[in-house]
Chain A
Amino acid sequence: MTSDLHDAVRPAGDEADDGKASRGRAVLGFLRGPGYVASNIRLLMVLIAVSVGFSIARPAFYTSASITNIFVSAVLVLLLALGETYVLISGGIDLSVAGMLALSGMASGYVMNLMYSGSGSAWGVTVIGVLCALAVGLAGGALNGWIISRLRLNSLIVTLGAMGVFTGAASLISNGNPITNFPASTFTLGDGSWGPVPIMVVIAAVAVVIYAFVTRRTRFGLHVYAAGANREALRRAGVSVPLVTIGVFCMSGLAAGLAGFLDTAHFLTASPTAGSNDLLLAVAAVVIGGTPLEGGEGSIVGTVIGALIISVLQNGFVILDVQSYWQLVAVGVVTVAAVYFGERDRISRLFKEK
């Protein structure tokens, strides 16, 4: 009876696995495996291949100044993408991240400008500016999450509306004019370095570690994945799905708030039109990073590599003297290609299973 029972529950594909297929799997199996580790290794190889390609075409690409530039230009998009990863894993989408970047950047710029006496490094003002940006981001995210879960509305349409609200509000703060004149300490955060490493990159790295840690090691992180995989299962498991949704959009708002402050600090200008292309780039980073739009899967590490791939493409095009408008075209094409390859993987997996 026991052996019967074991037979009955053996995976259906077991017998067919002998021969050619398993030999191939033994050699490069880790690249084809279902886990996120394998897909991240594949992504990393794409990143390296693209970088090497540009380095060969233009050796200037492979200089420390250029590499620093790649990291710095990746920071803002990466921060938006960190929060967007949570939203996509949970099965939703947040179209308001770039609008939030503009709004929080303007809000913190307005407050800092108001408080700054015009001289000195004034760290207190900068700290308040950071807190202000984070608070605006958190509040906007919580509002998104609350409306979506409470009124049971689709996240696409709610955050589309929020994108309009945030972008408009950013302009209303100063009648559409940019705000300038900030303390020196603000610029230190936005453009300073510790040794060879830009402070902005350090801040982004800390955010990456926190966001990755929460997905892998906390109950909330697990519930975010479960919400994307099977909302009803999560509900029956006794978890409050509305709270998970609100938490997810708070994470997205917080990261966008931080990006807003850093944008203001880096350019020493709070501009209501900041981040106008960043929504596409952020979603692209997440999708290239292997998080499917259906949710349930994905990783922060993948998103980091995705953001770096985008940044390498952008900087490579600059160095190759390609007209800058081509950058957006390229990112758009790469994003759709990434979705196509992810979809193909999923379909082939379905066939293998049955």
Chain B
Amino acid sequence: MTTDDQTRPGVLEVRDVGKSYGAVRALSDVSLTFAPGLTAIVGDNGAGKTTLMKIVAGVHAPTSGQLFLDGEMVSFSSPLSARKAGIEALYQDLALADTLSIAENIFLGRETTSRMFGLRLLDRRRMERAAQEVIGSVGIRMPSARTVVRDLSGGQRQAVALARAIYFNASVLLLDEPTAALGPKETAAFMALIEGIVGRGKTVVMVAHNLTMALGMSKSVAVMRAGRVITQMDSASTTPEELNAFIVGAKDAPSHA
């Protein structure tokens, strides 16, 4: 693991970002700053939340605008280059390989190897030990790091995807509706894990549907509508009712931008 936690606070700034698919404008002039702590992004379907997440995660390239990480301009050509900069994403569909073990999933693409006869060979034992540790550190009881992911429950699978995102010490964690597929009990457990990660000083950006939950957990909340950021405010200074008014367009942005 890297130990440059202190030197990289993980402040992510999105500046004037736009994205068009042909004639369709998915994002227009989006400017947001994500500081350490949890920022919630709320908005109706099609507001551009997921598109924004995918741009920050390096899945899509923006049509215009820039990204800054800790004041430095960055641009990502692929999910891998975003990861290398310390930005990890947890996708709605989790992107787990069902027939691989927990350890293999966590390390996929970044396998630990050891040299033998001049060849780089998988060091399964080390990966399994490290996987066991990171799973333990997020407070989840799992059968064994060798267990095939297919045999896990929904909450356990989510935890594996989360463990994969935090193991490599990302400074920014992106969550796109992470609890959409979970029951109430699993959701509570998962959100407890996220609070633990926020407590370690990470920057967490979460696209959320449940406004009460989003406000309860976040430090700051941004509202998007029709590809634009309507407002970004302190979570403590607003209510679910006010947020909803912004989301449906009953209330417009305070004219500061």
Interface residues of A (CB under 8 A from B): 1-2, 4-12, 34, 216-219, 221-223, 225-226, 228-230, 232-239, 296-297, 349, 353
Q: Is residue B188 contacting chain A, with contact meaning CB distance below 8 A?
A: yes
B153 touches A11 (CB 8 A): yes
Once bound together, how far apart are the Cα atoms of A2 and B140, in whole Å?
Answer: 9
Neighbouring A residues of B109 by C-beta, 8 Å: 234, 237-239
Contact with A along B101-114 (1 / 0, CB 8 A): 00011001111010
Neighbouring A residues of B80 by C-beta, 8 Å: 237-238
A228 touches B99 (CB 8 A): yes
Residues 127-168 of B at the A interface (beta carbon under 8 Å): 139-143, 148, 150-153, 155-156, 159
A238 touches B83 (CB 8 A): yes
Once bound together, how far apart are the Cα atoms of A236 and B60, in whole Å?
Answer: 12
Residue of B nearest to A219 (CB): B111
Known: A217-B122, A237-B110. A7 touches B151 (CB 8 A): no
Once bound together, how far apart are the Cα atoms of A226 and B91, in whole Å?
Answer: 17
Once bound together, how far apart are the Cα atoms of A5 and B194, in whole Å?
Answer: 13
Known: A5-B192, A9-B141. A230 touches B95 (CB 8 A): yes
Q: Is residue B121 contacting chain A, with contact meaning CB distance below 8 A?
A: yes
Neighbouring A residues of B197 by C-beta, 8 Å: none
Residues 4-47 of B at the A interface (beta carbon under 8 Å): none
Q: Is residue B120 contacting chain A, with contact meaning CB distance below 8 A?
A: yes
Known: A229-B97, A238-B80. A218 touches B156 (CB 8 A): no
Known: A8-B185, A233-B108. A34 touches B151 (CB 8 A): yes
Select B139's contact among A5, A12, A228, A233, beta carbons within 8 Å. Answer: A5
Once bound together, how far apart are the Cα atoms of A284 and B19, in whole Å?
Answer: 50
Give the most central of B96, B97, B188: most A CB within 10 Å. B97
Once bound together, how far apart are the Cα atoms of A221 and B80, in whole Å?
Answer: 20
B122 touches A219 (CB 8 A): yes
Instruction: Tell me, rounded to whole Å, the shortest Cβ–Cβ distance linking A161 to chain B.
Output: 30
A236 touches B79 (CB 8 A): yes
B159 touches A9 (CB 8 A): yes
B91 touches A217 (CB 8 A): no
Contact with A along B58-98 (1 / 0, CB 8 A): 01000000000000000000111001000000010101111
Contact with A along B193-213 (1 / 0, CB 8 A): 000000000000000000000
Instruction: Tell me, rounded to whole Å, the shortest Cβ–Cβ distance linking B146 to chain A.
Output: 9
Once bound together, how far apart are the Cα atoms of A225 and B148, in whole Å?
Answer: 12
Neighbouring B residues of A226 by C-beta, 8 Å: 97, 100, 104, 108
Known: A8-B186, A8-B189. A236 touches B151 (CB 8 A): no
Residue of A nearest to B89 (CB): A236
* Top 9 closest pairs, chain A to chain B, by CB: A238-B80, A237-B109, A229-B97, A296-B99, A8-B189, A233-B95, A9-B155, A237-B108, A5-B189
A9 touches B156 (CB 8 A): yes
Neighbouring A residues of B96 by C-beta, 8 Å: 230, 233
Neighbouring B residues of A235 by C-beta, 8 Å: 79
Known: A1-B192, A353-B150. A8 touches B108 (CB 8 A): no
Residue of B nearest to A296 (CB): B99
Once bound together, how far apart are the Cα atoms of A268 and B95, in whole Å?
Answer: 51
B99 touches A229 (CB 8 A): yes
B100 touches A222 (CB 8 A): yes
Neighbouring B residues of A9 by C-beta, 8 Å: 140-142, 153, 155-156, 159, 186, 189
A6 touches B151 (CB 8 A): no
Known: A218-B122, A236-B79. A11 touches B156 (CB 8 A): yes
B95 touches A232 (CB 8 A): yes
Once bound together, how far apart are the Cα atoms of A237 and B159, in whole Å?
Answer: 17
Neighbouring A residues of B99 by C-beta, 8 Å: 225, 228-229, 296-297
Give the most central of A8, A218, A237: most B CB within 10 Å. A8
Residue of B nearest to A297 (CB): B99
Neighbouring A residues of B91 by C-beta, 8 Å: 236
Neighbouring B residues of A239 by C-beta, 8 Å: 108-109
Neighbouring B residues of A2 by C-beta, 8 Å: 139
Once bound together, how far apart are the Cα atoms of A237 and B107, in whole Å?
Answer: 9
Known: A9-B159, A236-B91. A229 touches B113 (CB 8 A): no
Instruction: Tell me, rounded to whole Å, the shortest Cβ–Cβ distance linking A30 to chain B.
Output: 15
Residue of A nearest to B116 (CB): A217
B152 touches A11 (CB 8 A): yes
Neighbouring A residues of B148 by C-beta, 8 Å: 34
A234 touches B108 (CB 8 A): yes
Neighbouring A residues of B83 by C-beta, 8 Å: 238
Neighbouring A residues of B93 by C-beta, 8 Å: 232
Select A236's contact among B95, B140, B186, beta carbons within 8 Å. Answer: B95
Neighbouring B residues of A230 by C-beta, 8 Å: 95-98
Once bound together, how far apart are the Cα atoms of A315 and B155, in whole Å?
Answer: 52
Instruction: Tell me, rounded to whole Å, the shortest Cβ–Cβ distance linking A118 to chain B.
Output: 42
Once bound together, how far apart are the Cα atoms of A4 and B185, in whole Å?
Answer: 8
Known: A233-B96, A239-B108, A296-B98. A5 touches B151 (CB 8 A): no
